[in-house]
Chains A and B, each alone.
Chain A
């Protein structure tokens, strides 16, 4: 189907909501990057610049009770699930008001109440965990779904393969996303895998897979919706490869000189926000005014978040000792 035609199949309100999250994600990560340059961030900054449509798209396709196990460039998904810009900045600043209360940094955060499984640095570790979330749904006969995501590099780890295999064998309600941004840190795809497309890996597990344009919000959203619907209906897992490009360095300290300039120039034209604006205008769902208003709104929200985070207290040293073990009260049914 024509790109424009696919966009027309999504409701206007849903598109505008997702467009807002694209902008919020971009604005928040740009602001965090600026704070990093000023030396105000504790630790590293990994952005999903140019890849926002993927996590906004899949997270928007879920129901409230569903679960996500996101990846380190999935800021959009955290925001869609209701983690606020203030909490995110607090997390980056090591403040007590961040989701990990200063115990962990950057995107290594989660919150079960909002259906977010905490991201673990060890790439692909959360994929088996996601299959277990799906297994719990299956065991209890709930019609809930979990979506997880990995990078192209993460698909080389054993845990990726163990998770894909187990999910397929037991037809678990899980959807595996992969944001193929063509690099894993400095390692290009050709040194990561011998298959042409990451989706080829799914065949080995008897799992259906598809490739989508990861910079096309509606395409990602619709692919997610189809896969989620299937999973919910008990028809098992799907693998979705999103072709995209990492537009910043691996982290903000990395100038990424190893990425050819022309490649970045080419992908800049395919920016997901630019693309969304073109489509929204063409269908007549929005105009420059809408875009400007959304821009003003997200800037305000991000600034309020930064203010909240900066005013928040740092944890006290002895808080280090808290929380190694859970208490009985925490698992009361």
Chain B
């Protein structure tokens, strides 16, 4: 367990851990549920030391039973608790799909009972996880009114968005990218802060082409921006941070400025969030566009295991550079 210490760099993973720890200390209604999160500290060790600090019931090891424990979290949330559920891997969220989409998402709409629930879903590829440990399942839930979806890309956003998710009165799925866990570090403020849900963030300002992205792909876009700057092309990197509710204004503002848009994600291309952003831009920013909207995404296959296959599958910096150059030429 790491506590907030001013001046020290923390990883994305530690930022998540800090957010959980601070929220549990701040609000005794907050409790954790999931597989192997107790003495073991979770598959990724995010809750290491939590059970000693908060006890067996507030850091509750569950049976291997995603539908069961998400359902239980919904019940506890309705009774005024603030459950935070850990999926061991986001891929296993499919077992709880029904509870999330039919019960949690529709509850308040149907009969007015809020479900203040957070589901943490370690997602994404680049870690040799294969078809069952690398998925990006956000697309499934993007189409389920009543849920909020967030996907931070930095330790700062990871901490602030998790705190905001825990304090939100609605079910929030928190997509945390496994590839970023130990690779991205930052110094965080020592005081309490949140990142409001529903607010995108321009991670790099630029005047020529907008890249609209989230999660680990933000870092790919930033790398591409460095390379493109040498050729005089200024990329603007818009990090959505929240997928539902989408910060449409931030997207429009960027594209109205640059007139060129690339959507970028690691999820499959068809029906992905990039497709929705593209449609929104066609509806709302048609007059500002100076070129076609381009989508960079994973192909429509499961995430493959073997290194050359996974490398082929995942979007690359070179894809972004090529797309941006093509657009800049319009």
Contact = CB atoms under 8 A, between A and B. Distances in A.
Interface stretch (B61-69, B118-126, B131-139, B265-273): B61-69
Interface stretch (B36-44, B95-103, B246-254, B279-287): B95-103
A34 interface: no
A146 to B, nearest CB: 8
Contacts of B205: none
A131 B76 CA distance: 8
A326 B170 contact: yes
A274 to B, nearest CB: 35
Nearest to B83: A132
B330 interface: no
A140 B58 CA distance: 10
* Tier of interface size on chain A: 35 or more
Interface in A275-333: 323-328, 330-331, 333
Contacts of B108: 323-326
B34 interface: no
A108 B106 CA distance: 12
B112 interface: yes
A86 B279 CA distance: 46
A170 to B, nearest CB: 8
B77 interface: yes
Given A122-B98, A136-B75, A326-B169, A131 B110 contact: no
Contacts of A111: 111
A138 B102 contact: no
A325 B116 CA distance: 10
Contacts of A170: 60
A148 to B, nearest CB: 10
B109 A323 contact: yes
Nearest to B68: A162
A66 to B, nearest CB: 12
Given A131-B71, A133-B76, A103 B65 contact: no
A236 B141 CA distance: 35
Contact of B113 (A112, A126, A169, A328): A112
A285 B80 CA distance: 43
Interface in A127-150: 127-140, 146
B111 A132 contact: no
A165 B68 contact: yes
Nearest to B167: A328
B114 interface: yes
Nearest to B116: A331
A137 B12 CA distance: 34
A135 B76 contact: yes
B198 to A, nearest CB: 10
B71 A325 contact: no
B84 interface: no
A109 interface: yes
B113 A166 contact: no
Contact of A133 (B67, B75, B106): B75
A158 interface: yes
Nearest to A136: B79
Given A100-B111, A118-B110, A118-B111, A166 B63 contact: yes
Contacts of B78: 112, 117, 129, 132-133
A131 B75 CA distance: 7
27 contacts: A108-B110, A112-B112, A117-B78, A118-B110, A118-B113, A120-B103, A125-B98, A128-B69, A128-B75, A129-B71, A129-B72, A129-B75, A129-B99, A131-B68, A131-B72, A132-B76, A132-B77, A133-B76, A133-B79, A135-B72, A136-B80, A136-B81, A139-B58, A139-B81, A158-B67, A162-B63, A326-B169
Given A110-B113, A135-B81, A139-B31, 7 more contacts: A112-B78, A132-B78, A159-B68, A166-B63, A323-B112, A324-B145, A326-B170
In the A-B complex, the 9 residue pairs with the closest CB atoms: A128-B71, A132-B75, A162-B68, A132-B72, A326-B114, A136-B79, A129-B75, A326-B169, A118-B111
Interface of A: 67, 69, 99-100, 103-104, 108-112, 117-118, 120-122, 125-140, 146, 158-159, 162-163, 165-166, 169-170, 323-328, 330-331, 333
Interface of B: 31, 57-58, 60, 62-63, 65, 67-81, 83, 98-99, 102-103, 106-116, 145-146, 148, 169-170
